[in-house]
């Protein structure tokens, strides 16, 4: 059974991305990228299909109940054009703090705007000066590098009271602000997602009513942390789409490229590189969906699971695309002769997703800071079991997410390490031994508690991410999901410096070649 029929329906509706024209084709994505043009036609196509409804919770008139389903939908769009996917999904990104802490009136207004196809902007990291005034706040200062701010109806802003130092999150209705109260700054060109409208906004004493406060006055810190935890869980969808298209594009090019007396794809080194990229896509997909489930089913674990997802998956995707670029050679830079030149675009776009809403060192530091939870009383590993079932039911989004933890929750995923290793020994003894050894090192890191910003702390954070991801894969397999590539996937996670064994590489390459021969996107789900 396919758990994402809506994503499959969207894929079918959008049609063949290889067509020479039309929205959400590779040709359209590259034409917009070269011109740094807003993807009007692609966004219109998505609105016509009903994409905005999946950005609004069902309780507020939309169709969004599952972050795992939304992840699958975003990936469908991202594998055609990551820039269009980011723009189209931005109302959900900006709406996260609204769904977490907004009043019914705020949620209703944001939902109605999103369902009409209006955009919103999210500006969390640059606080404005917000002086209390009669019935609200006066805003001064500016924020830079904000997506959609020149086109947005709503903007989520951070305001800091200069008298107390307290910060408050605000949902500003830009349509209601006097034009003299703010100015929109010029667009800032970018190397990746060139079609996006990235700019700034500067306020000059603009009045924002007290009804714009999200959550409680002075409570921005905790709300921003909970919002970013949610956002970071979904961001891997963009990287998955970019990696998938880059992999299929590379395979197709190398299948037709002649070298010596044969094809490039017949060279063992080329097949091994394609197989390794295919394996990374498989494991990244499984980890991304596991973390999306964990967010809805165990929100207290989200500071860990979201950091794992945000660090590991964009990092794997960007690294693999760079390695594939090395296999393709200089010809991947040519625009006209293969898939409209889409490979260069997805490579550039993927680099942005590594940095968006949390760079690698931030995520590794966050994981290192969570290590002490492994040194305390162990959590009950059975609490995480429902997230790893082949078909998993979660409370409708955003129910339960108001209780998102900020830090310090016990980890039931890692707590099951010994039981998982015991169960794996009869099926994959080498993988079980590697997992157990890395788990022992992780526990040692937990007791030593290295500083999150130190080199040792960063290494410990990466070990935590890889062990956590490996346990997600192993627990899905033990719960009944068929993962024939589990053993090489665990090895790739735990020993990324080692090459794929020859038999595993050939098997994965043949699987990739079979799927690519169908001239359709790789499946969004696979049978258990």
CB-based contacts of 430, cutoff 8 Å, min separation 6: 487, 491
Backbone angles phi, psi at 206, to 5 degrees: -65, 135
How high is the pLDDT of residue 376? 80
- For the beta carbon of residue 208, count every other beta carbon within 10 angstroms: 26
How high is the pLDDT of residue 502? 92
**Residue ranges covered by each domain of the chain:** 5-115, 120-217, 235-379+408-516
Q: Cα(503)–Cα(481) distance, rounded to whole angstroms?
A: 22
Q: Cα(389)–Cα(506) distance, rounded to whole angstroms?
A: 29
Beta strands at 119-133 and 152-160: parallel, antiparallel or unpaired:
parallel
CATH code for the structural domain at 120-217: 2.40.110.10
pTM listed for this prediction:
0.94
How confident is the model over 229-259, as pLDDT tens digits?
999 999 999 999 999 999 999 999 999 888 8
Q: Which helix (H) or strand (E) holds 331?
A: none
CATH code for the structural domain at 235-379+408-516: 1.20.140.10
Q: Cα(143)–Cα(159) distance, rounded to whole angstroms?
A: 11
How high is the pLDDT of residue 259? 83
- For the beta carbon of residue 318, count every other beta carbon within 10 angstroms: 23
Same CATH fold assignment for domains 5-115 and 120-217: no
How confident is the model over 442-491, as pLDDT tens digits?
999 999 988 999 999 999 999 999 999 999 999 999 999 989 999 999 99
Give, for all 528 residues of the chain, the pLDDT tens digit. Answer: 467 899 999 999 999 999 988 899 999 999 999 999 999 999 999 999 999 999 999 999 999 999 999 999 999 999 999 999 999 999 999 999 999 999 999 999 999 999 999 999 999 989 999 999 999 999 999 999 899 999 999 999 999 999 999 999 999 999 999 888 999 999 998 898 999 999 999 999 999 999 999 999 999 999 999 999 999 999 999 999 999 999 999 999 999 888 877 899 999 999 999 999 999 999 999 999 999 999 999 998 999 999 999 999 999 999 999 999 999 987 666 556 689 899 999 999 999 999 989 889 999 999 999 998 888 888 899 999 999 998 877 788 988 786 676 656 789 999 999 999 999 998 889 889 999 999 999 999 999 988 999 999 999 999 999 999 999 999 999 999 989 999 999 999 999 999 999 999 999 999 999 988 875 554 544 333
How high is the pLDDT of residue 522? 47
| Torsional sign, CA 14, 15, 21, 24 | positive
> Is the separation of the CB atoms in 369 and 452 below 8 Å?
yes
Q: Cα(263)–Cα(271) distance, rounded to whole angstroms?
A: 11
Q: Domain 5-115, CATH 3.90.1150.10 — does that match?
A: no
Smallest CA-to-CA distance from 79 within 251, 238, 254 is with 238
How high is the pLDDT of residue 528? 30
């Amino acid at each position: 059974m396919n758990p994402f029929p809506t994503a499959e329906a969207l894929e079918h509706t959008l049609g063949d991305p290889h067509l020479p024209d039309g929205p959400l084709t590779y040709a359209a994505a590259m034409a917009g990228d070269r011109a740094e043009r807003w993807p009007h036609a692609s966004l219109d196509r998505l609105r016509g299909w009903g994409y905005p409804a999946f950005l609004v919770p069902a309780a507020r008139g939309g169709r969004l109940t599952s972050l795992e389903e939304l992840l699958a939908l975003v990936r469908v769009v991202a594998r055609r054009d990551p820039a269009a996917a980011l723009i189209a999904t931005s109302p959900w990104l900006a709406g996260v703090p609204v769904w977490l802490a907004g009043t019914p009136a705020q949620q209703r207004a944001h939902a109605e705007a999103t369902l009409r196809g209006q955009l919103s902007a999210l500006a969390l990291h640059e606080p404005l000066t917000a002086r209390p005034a009669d019935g609200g706040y006066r805003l001064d200062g500016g924020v830079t590098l904000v997506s959609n701010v020149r086109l947005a109806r709503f903007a989520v802003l951070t305001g800091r009271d200069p008298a107390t130092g307290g910060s408050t999150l605000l949902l500003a209705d830009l349509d209601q602000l006097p034009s003299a109260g703010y100015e929109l700054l010029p667009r800032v060109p970018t190397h990746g997602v060139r079609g996006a409208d990235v700019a700034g906004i500067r306020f000059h004493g603009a009045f924002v009513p007290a009804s714009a406060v999200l959550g409680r006055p002075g409570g921005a810190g905790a709300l921003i942390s909970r919002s970013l935890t949610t956002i970071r869980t979904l961001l891997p969808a963009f990287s998955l789409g970019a990696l998938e298209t880059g992999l299929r594009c590379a395979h197709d090019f190398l299948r037709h490229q002649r070298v010596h007396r044969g094809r490039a794809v017949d060279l063992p080194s080329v097949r091994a590189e394609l197989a390794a990229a295919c394996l990374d896509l498989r494991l990244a997909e499984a980890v991304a969906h596991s973390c999306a489930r964990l967010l809805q089913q165990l929100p207290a674990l989200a500071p860990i699971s979201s950091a794992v997802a945000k660090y590991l998956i964009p990092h794997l995707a960007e690294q693999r695309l760079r390695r594939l670029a090395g296999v393709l050679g200089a010809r991947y830079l040519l625009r006209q002769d293969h898939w409209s030149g889409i490979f260069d675009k997805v490579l550039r776009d993927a680099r942005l997703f590594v940095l968006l809403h949390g760079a690698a060192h931030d995520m590794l530091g966050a994981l290192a800071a969570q290590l002490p939870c492994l040194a305390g009383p162990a959590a009950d590993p059975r609490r995480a079991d429902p997230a790893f079932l082949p078909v998993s039911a979660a409370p409708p989004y955003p129910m339960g997410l108001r209780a998102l933890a900020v830090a310090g929750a016990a980890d039931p995923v890692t707590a099951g390490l010994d039981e998982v290793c015991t169960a794996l020994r009869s099926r994959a003894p080498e993988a079980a031994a590697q997992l157990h050894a890395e788990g022992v090192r992780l526990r040692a890191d937990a007791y030593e508690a290295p500083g999150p910003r130190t080199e040792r702390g960063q290494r410990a954070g990466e070990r935590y991410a890889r062990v956590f991801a490996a346990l997600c894969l192993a627990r899905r397999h033990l719960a009944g999901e068929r993962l024939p590539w589990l053993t090489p996937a665990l090895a790739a996670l735990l020993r990324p410096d080692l090459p794929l064994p020859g038999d595993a590489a050939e098997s994965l390459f043949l699987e990739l070649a079979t799927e690519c021969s169908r001239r359709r996107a790789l499946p969004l789900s696979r049978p258990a």
